[in-house]
Structure 1
């Protein structure tokens, strides 16, 4: 079939919201569990199924890759190269980094040779792929993304007056470059024993004092919120080193591989290369491997004014500039007028709100909010109309 609805997997991670996906999209939550992510794609850790037949999407794809993807995507990737998710965070996710492709391949091969099971708690590399990703906010969405400018990091630590870390701050002031930032971040995230206790104790005192700047107030508020979930975690210092950001509904940001980040609260659409590789450094009860995370991190500050993506209006759709070829992301507004879209590979459409019909030749499917369809390359084009908003995932 060139066009079919998907039945998607819900991931019940502890940080997920019990209400957001249900409230937004009517997805039942009979057991009142935290519904953290809804996966749309063919990744083995949460593969979608064909709604009509129950077949795994990966099995359907494998029957004829060329018909599904076209020759270029088949040659370039050999599989569906992206994974689309609804992500609903009620509490903060871990401070994390995703590896670049080369290091993911080497790490995956290394851990295979070591005989570490794929689902083992101490497994860093679940696959051999990189994981750049983009987030499109469906609600107000709080996060951290990339290192702050070094001068801002110094200012925030000095305002907080963490005397235990005065030596590390002084060393960063003497080396205002990527090497100095790497040394500083590594030292903070590797704190142990009495020094860690002392630094956190001073942070708790700083949380009680009024901030002197809006930047310090914002960073401290994030840290206070983290304390409610992960007391005595070194990740409480992360907001002083990483950019904090809040996306309004309809705003988006991109996260490069090797960029430290954390999602804090809110619901959004997340599209990424098809990978489940996560290296963690804090704000989590899961396995932490700080040296491996450091080895997979680029210590280049990001200007906070350049984090949000500015969409480009193309033929009636909003297209987001993505700096990788694994995936693309558009927002389509369905109207009473029938609109056409040509395919360059397989696509997944997800209905964000309202209703829309999607048509390929003589096959027509109606979508309501929370439903999705897969469209194969062999369709060549499709039409859509209605009164809804569709997210378009493609490559």
Structure 2
């Protein structure tokens, strides 16, 4: 077992207080958006086995089978197949989708053949892997996930009474649903930027008016204190004139309570808006953006990847699995579970022969390797890595999340 030192990424959308508060350190005044726990080459965690801090990626490369276990190496190669993050959003992230395995492999090969540098700002595929992900709320958490039914999206747009949105409303009412969603998103993203900026500005002003009226009429309504238009008014304040504001109105708005989670598969458009959560994903950088960003938007490739089908967001709640509570996800690269420990409870054994990252979010827990008897205490905000061969027991009083491989 090894305590981890983790990098914090200062993206502009990050909260200045949420991660420092969890870690028990003073805020720096700068945004602290994500804390990465894992072996991703962009910001690997470090550990010290007596010779000074070493990147976890190097530890794994030195002896993959010991660190990852034979089953993980057979399934995913000699690398940690997941990345765990703390994510603290104080402003909306970009609206985005991720490719499936086949699309990622094809896209990566095509850009390699074209000689596009991996770090080029217009590069879509940084690797050959897919990027399914799951986010679990630690505080109330808001996001967008998947397409609304076309008729529902039409009603939302029509309620703003903006002339520039009326053609989209007509398409959403008249066409078969999947075709309508494709046609409207294509029209929004390929429109003349100056022209659609005016429509976005009018839609934003109307959303502000509707949001204020809804807050006064029903401050405790099920859509929140600012009604169905509040999230989009907020998005527009952060991204004035961005066509992604209209694209966002095609998506379901989701509110998670602490302990609830969302799974996001390939081709599902989504964006996180506000809150602190734990995010776990396959170890990939492949993102295609739809809007709410100054970064590159490759519309033709995006339209190839997006799944144009409406579906209500499925909110996941942890299900008992022995002493743990696990979040169901249909992938093998990762498994996320939660363990709530009581002070008078017995030590719990964590089953499995795969690498593990543990994050303490409440209280104080004690990790013990049943093989060699070594122990490591984790306070709130601290994390640890254990190799596949370690046999872990946990005790104490607190909450820990366990990330591992579902092999």
Q: Measure the CA separation in 2 of the matches of 1:386 and 1:205.
A: 52
Look up the match of 1:320.
327
Q: How does 1:151-162 map onto structure 2 within 5 Å? A: 151-162=151-162
1:391 lines up with 2:401 in the alignment = yes
1:373 lines up with 2:384 in the alignment = yes
1:36 lines up with 2:47 in the alignment = no
Structure 1 residue 382: Cα displacement: 0.9
Q: Measure the CA separation in 2 of the matches of 1:260 and 1:272.
A: 16
Look up the match of 2:340.
333
Aligned residue for 1:197, secondary structure, equals helix
When residues 51 and 149 of structure 1 are mapped into structure 2, their CA distance, relative to the original with a 3 A threshold, is farther
Q: Measure the CA separation in 2 of the matches of 1:59 and 1:363.
A: 23
Q: Measure the CA separation in 2 of the matches of 1:200 and 1:190.
A: 14
Look up the match of 2:290.
281
Q: How big is each residue's C-alpha offset from its partner over 1:241-284, in whole Å with a ceiling of 9 and x where there is no partner?
A: 10101111111111112110001011100000011221112111
Whether the 8 Å CA contact 2:259–2:318 is kept in 1: the answer is no
Q: Measure the CA separation in 2 of the matches of 1:265 and 1:244.
A: 12
Q: How does 1:1-395 map onto structure 2 within 5 Å? A: 3-27=1-25, 29-30=27-28, 32-52=29-49, 53-78=52-77, 79-193=79-193, 195-207=195-207, 208-209=209-210, 210=213, 218-304=227-313, 307-336=314-343, 337-360=346-369, 361=371, 362-379=373-390, 381-395=391-405
Structure 1 residue 235: Cα displacement: 1.6
Whether the 8 Å CA contact 1:222–1:239 is kept in 2: the answer is no
Q: How big is each residue's C-alpha offset from its partner over 1:76-96, in whole Å with a ceiling of 9 and x where there is no partner?
A: 101211100000111110111
Whether the 8 Å CA contact 1:108–1:126 is kept in 2: the answer is yes
Whether the 8 Å CA contact 2:329–2:335 is kept in 1: the answer is yes
Q: Measure the CA separation in 2 of the matches of 1:64 and 1:177.
A: 51
Whether the 8 Å CA contact 2:83–2:282 is kept in 1: the answer is yes
Structure 1 residue 150: Cα displacement: 1.7
Q: Measure the CA separation in 2 of the matches of 1:393 and 1:315.
A: 16
Q: Measure the CA separation in 1 of the matches of 2:48 and 2:174.
A: 60
**Structure 2 unmatched ranges of 5 or more:** none
Q: Measure the CA separation in 2 of the matches of 1:389 and 1:84.
A: 16
Q: Measure the CA separation in 2 of the matches of 1:201 and 1:351.
A: 44
Aligned-residue RMSD, C-alpha: 2.0
Count of matched residue positions in the alignment of Structure 1 and Structure 2: 389
Aligned residue for 2:104, secondary structure, equals helix
When residues 70 and 199 of structure 1 are mapped into structure 2, their CA distance, relative to the original with a 3 A threshold, is same
Q: Measure the CA separation in 2 of the matches of 1:194 and 1:119.
A: 29
Structure 1 residue 193: Cα displacement: 4.0
**Structure 1 unmatched ranges of 5 or more:** none
Whether the 8 Å CA contact 2:259–2:317 is kept in 1: the answer is no
TM-score by length of 1: 0.93
Q: Measure the CA separation in 2 of the matches of 1:193 and 1:325.
A: 41
Aligned residue for 1:258, secondary structure, equals coil
Q: Measure the CA separation in 2 of the matches of 1:382 and 1:215.
A: 43
When residues 383 and 204 of structure 1 are mapped into structure 2, their CA distance, relative to the original with a 3 A threshold, is closer
